[in-house]
A = this chain, B = another copy of it.
Amino acid sequence: MAKSMYLLWGSGSCPCWRIMITLEEKKLQGYKQKLLSFEKEEHKSKEVLEINPRGQLPTFKHGDDIINESTGACLYLENQFKSQGNKLIPDNPAEQALMYQRMMEGLTLYEKLNLVAFYDFYAPEGERHDSALKRNKDNLVTELQLWESYLENVGRYLAGGFSLADVVVFPSLAYAFRYGLSAGRYPKLAKYYSLLKDRPSIKATWPPKWFQIEQRSESLKDI
């Protein structure tokens, strides 16, 4: 089945990483793939736009079926390959409710990280305000403290066993620590990150450009 899949992706993109972790977990290795460069604007290339009119990565096909939205693709892959690889949506109602809740909240976490780490990208010169950046930072602190509290009473993962909640949330946290987030101020998040980073599906899909030391950033160190 994996041979009929095609993923166009960018290194360091959390949404791309979510699909790649899911493909590993579902034992769908061997899919066709192409690494594109955001810097060279390859996500706006003809090949991408023909599959994905939004010109974004990931861009993903399974046979003729197109599912570019990363969370949608993870849900689709789990549903299509339920009995293959690891189960990523728990059957138990309480765990399932928590899984969907954290999975969707993970999109809010990602958005709030972006609004700080990439503030200058979202607000062009002439529209930037210290007050707005400060508000974004305050919102991110509140968000991260909420996730600290979520991790207070759970085990290793966010909702029972490893699930789509972890698939969606982990890349954002990896990116937060990569961008300088303090392990001291967010010890539960740091522990979660450190426990999951060596999981085979995650190691196998680690963003290649993160192996280059010069790609590190400190834009979240004061959060």
Cβ of A219 within 8 Å of any chain B Cβ, yes or no, is no
CA distance A67 to B103 in the complex (A): 11
Chain A, 45-77, CB within 8 A of any chain B CB: 53-54, 62-69, 71-73, 75-76
In the bound assembly, the distance between CA atoms of A104 and B105 in angstroms comes to 13
* CB nearest to A132 among chain B residues: B127
CB distance from A60 to the nearest CB of B (A): 9
Cα distance, A127 to B72, chains bound together (Å): 34
Cβ distance A162 to chain B, nearest Cβ, rounded Å = 18
- Does B97 contact A76, Cβ atoms closer than 8 Å? yes
Please, which residues of chain B bring their CB within 8 A of the CB of A67?
A: 97-98, 100-101
Contacts of A80 in B (CB 8 A): 93, 96
Q: In the assembly, how many copies of this chain are there?
A: 2
Contacts of A69 in B (CB 8 A): 100-101, 104-105
How far is A58 from B98 in the complex, measured between Cα atoms in Å?
A: 16
Contact with A65, one of B72, B76, B97 (Cβ below 8 angstroms): B97
List residues 71-89 of chain A with CB under 8 A from any CB of chain B: 71-73, 75-76, 79-80, 89
Does A199 reach chain B (CB closer than 8 Å)? no
Interface residues of A (CB under 8 A from B): 53-54, 62-69, 71-73, 75-76, 79-80, 89, 93-94, 96-98, 100-101, 103-105, 107, 123-124, 126-127, 129, 131-132, 146, 149
